[in-house]
Structure 1
Amino acid sequence: MMRLYYTLILLFAVLAVTSCKKFLDVAPADRTGSSSFWQTREDVESAVINCYGFVFEKFNDFNSPVIPAVGDMRCGGIGGVVGAGQLGLGFKTISNNDLSNTTDLNVPERYNLVDIDDWAPYFESIANCNITLSEIEKMEALTDDEKNRYEAEVKFVRAFTYFYICRLYGDVPFYTEPYDKTPRPRTSFVTIFNTLIAELDAVKDDLPWTPSNTSDLGVRANRASIYTLIAHLNMWVAGFDKANQNKYWQDAAQKCLAVKNSGEFELLPLEETKRIFKGKTKESIFEFELNRNYGNTSRYVNLGQWMTHSPIVNYGANSDLFFSRELMERIYPPDKPDKRRDIWFYLPYVNNQTFMFLKQINVADPAGDWIFEDNLMIFRYADVLLLGAEAFANLNNNTEAISMLNMVRERAGANLFAAGAENLSDAIFWERQKELIGEGHRWYDFVRTGRVLDPNQALTYLTQEEFDRGAWTWPIDAKARINNPEIVLNLYWVR
């Protein structure tokens, strides 16, 4: 951790240029590393934008498929190429939740799955946020309202980074002060999440529901993204702090309802799927932007990039990977209507590599390599509605739960929920599986609801003993202990 702080200021402009090309008017490195940098509102704007850049740099790593590997592949049901040295073998190993040695998965070097073990880039993001918050507080060029808005935005980015890494690794060191070089042990993520919920609650209304600049829609924090993150924090910790579940469910339910009642968001027709996942729509709550015009595209950030072939991309007649028939029939029963199955998939039950996943197919150059520019969706309005439905159902408020669930089903052309015909909690869970497939939520939904322990629901299931020993987490690279001997690795994955 210590060396991160010595280089952090110099990294501000560098990472902004490489990972947030949209925001080109950033201060050069020699200014951001000097005491004269923090002078104007424009300096603050550049620094705040860089907060997003740090974490996105990890997500959009051209060396490693972070989001697809950790969010969807671990759930099982991944088929694909299995020849020696092919990526399908490694990803199918992940699909069986075998992460015991992510340096030895027989995948091409360019996929670098071991990079996911390295949590240092996330702590760079957190340290950057801590420094930015400290400097904003001292800025005389800002009004109090401007300070409040910028601080709320940076606190969202910091809280989101902790939210992400705690779901990935479990307990982590907790840093909130600038230039803190203390080697800290791992703090319980329940404690961290409760701290973050309180912090975000204090600033949640300092941002508008939607930005005044439409080009910032979805890609910069707003009131809805803060409310949604608070709801997700609550729903995650409720799965582990069971003695206080009702408190978490109540807060999550009210936050999701507030987003719904704001009137600022809507579900777009599924026929407009390409526009939805290109981003910046009324369905967007928070996303990271990918755009070739800003030199910013991706090979690995979305799962669909391994599940398409000609004529979508110039990549032959087969996809590298596919969802198995067993998984597809479980999520989308063939005898039930669902426009998501019909629009998002080609040959959904074929069980071979002629299958295609068409949810994320904004291709930068269809005649060339498989470079995509679908925005990386973090939170969508459909996610908010289903998370709220789940919270209300847990509180036995079935009226509101069914209303939110049916908003999503109606858009999908699916059968509406009728009391007595289905178990409500199960219906909401599987609706999230249908709606959010490929967006990095599926594994985490199985873990936080405990369904990962049920072999009748999870293709890649865990025993209680495996779960308790940390099989739901990702391995942590041993180099995390070089500058912090207080760190204990995730021992389930240590051979």
Structure 2
Amino acid sequence: MVKENTELGWGRGYIADLANNNIRRFVDLNYSGNNWRTIFNHVRFTQWDRYYRVIAAANIAVDRIGDVPDPALTGELKAAYTGEAVFIRNLAYFFMVRQFGDVAYYTEPYFAKPLKRAPMADVLRGCIADMKEYYKGMPWTYDDPFYVGIRGMRGAAIALMMEMNLWLAGFDIPNSQLYYNDVIELANEARNENGGAYQLLPIERYIEIFKGRSSENLFGIPQNRNYGERFGWSDFFDQVKYDPLNPNTASIPYMSYTGDFMRALYPEGEADQRLQLWFNPATAYNANRTFQMKKFLVTADPNSIDFNDRNDATQCVYRYPDIF
């Protein structure tokens, strides 16, 4: 699906390795042009300590929130904060399961005992049960638009449980129908009980979605120049950017979708707004340095010659269409 533009010689061979699932070479670090940041990120790919820091903090929050004596922290707020902490720890476990398979699983606060890895399916089943205990205390959305789609909301927790069920259905085949039934039940809840908190935006407003905090966003990691937020190199857009107005070679994409893959999604000659709005139609089927994906280019400063400074998009983890 993804083709690496090796002709550029920019030392991003890891793109091809990831596309070909060559994980051993990906962590080998023997790419030309590596700098300290690239090396650090590759080493980090093999480590799970940051996930467990998140999980440890979440476990403590779940344990302590209920006992906070401040009367301003109502029972409703305590349930919302607790649900959000549970959502974050289960999201961390889900990321780890997809990356490492079997992982050590615990939910107790201040835990310091040695643990063996638990089977992946057991971890996911534990996460679903954990999330189901707390998610209904989470709000469907927030009155303050600043928090919409970037704080834990009930729709995001439902999307996470749906995805974990689908993952289990693929690995626990004898019980797959049970997981599928749970997915349908959760989807119906999200669609029918959200009270108008979520909606599918028309494609003409797609920039609002990737800007973040829209009624279609369920959960994402925000990047907003107004609040001093910036991903740097961690966004996908950095790999596919192409700016013909920028004379700097860094404006050329490091990878592109293959022509066959693009034709399968958007057959040539057929009108499709996604092709027109998200790509440069003139080069969309060219698997080379002229490929241009505009889908995640949310303009922050249209006058900046640095494409990274011009991009202001949220990294979307879950969106309302995922429920469908």
Change in Cα spacing, 1:161 to 1:313, as seen in structure 2 (3 Å) is farther
Change in Cα spacing, 1:276 to 1:195, as seen in structure 2 (3 Å) is same
Please say if residues 12 and 31 of structure 2, whose CA atoms lie closer than 8 Å, have aligned partners that are also in contact: no
Aligned-pair CA distance for 1:156:
0.6
Please tell me whether residue 210 in structure 1 is matched to residue 141 in structure 2: yes
Aligned-pair CA distance for 1:307:
1.2
Please say if residues 3 and 287 of structure 2, whose CA atoms lie closer than 8 Å, have aligned partners that are also in contact: no
Aligned residues: 309
Q: Secondary structure at the match of 1:379?
A: strand
Select which of 285, 289, 306 maps to 1:369.
306
Match of 2:2 in 1: 77
Calculate percent identity across the aligned residue pairs. Answer: 28
Change in Cα spacing, 1:333 to 1:148, as seen in structure 2 (3 Å) is same
Gaps of at least 5 residues in structure 2 are none
Aligned-pair CA distance for 1:173:
0.6
The one-letter code sitting in structure 1 at the alignment partner of 2:315 is: L
Alignment partners' CA distance in 2, 1:314 and 1:120: 41
Q: Give per-residue Cα distances to partners, 1:121-171, cap 9 Å, x unaligned.
A: 111111111112222132122333322221111101111111111111111
Match of 1:14 in 2: none
Alignment partners' CA distance in 2, 1:199 and 1:193: 10
Aligned-pair CA distance for 1:336:
4.3
| Stretch of structure 1 that moved more, 318-327 or 305-314 | 305-314
The one-letter code sitting in structure 2 at the alignment partner of 1:135 is: R
Please tell me whether residue 92 in structure 1 is matched to residue 21 in structure 2: no
Gaps of at least 5 residues in structure 1 are 1-75, 386-495
Please tell me whether residue 321 in structure 1 is matched to residue 255 in structure 2: yes
Alignment partners' CA distance in 2, 1:357 and 1:377: 16
Match of 2:166 in 1: 235
Please tell me whether residue 136 in structure 1 is matched to residue 65 in structure 2: yes
Select which of 93, 101, 114 maps to 2:43.
114
The one-letter code sitting in structure 2 at the alignment partner of 1:89 is: G
Please say if residues 302 and 360 of structure 1, whose CA atoms lie closer than 8 Å, have aligned partners that are also in contact: no
TM-score, normalised to structure 1, is 0.59
Coordinate RMSD, CA, aligned: 2.0
Q: Give per-residue Cα distances to partners, 1:282-334, cap 9 Å, x unaligned.
A: 11111111111222112333322221222576744632221121222233332
Match of 2:111 in 1: 180
Please say if residues 297 and 364 of structure 1, whose CA atoms lie closer than 8 Å, have aligned partners that are also in contact: no
Match of 1:277 in 2: 210
Matches within 5 A, 1:284-323: 284-311=217-244, 315-316=248-249, 318-323=252-257
Alignment partners' CA distance in 2, 1:310 and 1:83: 15
Please tell me whether residue 353 in structure 1 is matched to residue 292 in structure 2: no
Aligned-pair CA distance for 1:384:
1.3
Alignment partners' CA distance in 2, 1:240 and 1:300: 34
Please say if residues 83 and 89 of structure 1, whose CA atoms lie closer than 8 Å, have aligned partners that are also in contact: no
Aligned-pair CA distance for 1:200:
1.4
Aligned-pair CA distance for 1:79:
2.6
Please say if residues 298 and 373 of structure 1, whose CA atoms lie closer than 8 Å, have aligned partners that are also in contact: no
The one-letter code sitting in structure 1 at the alignment partner of 2:6 is: V
Please say if residues 173 and 184 of structure 1, whose CA atoms lie closer than 8 Å, have aligned partners that are also in contact: yes
Runs of 4+ in 1 over 6 A off after TM superposition: none
Please say if residues 309 and 315 of structure 1, whose CA atoms lie closer than 8 Å, have aligned partners that are also in contact: no
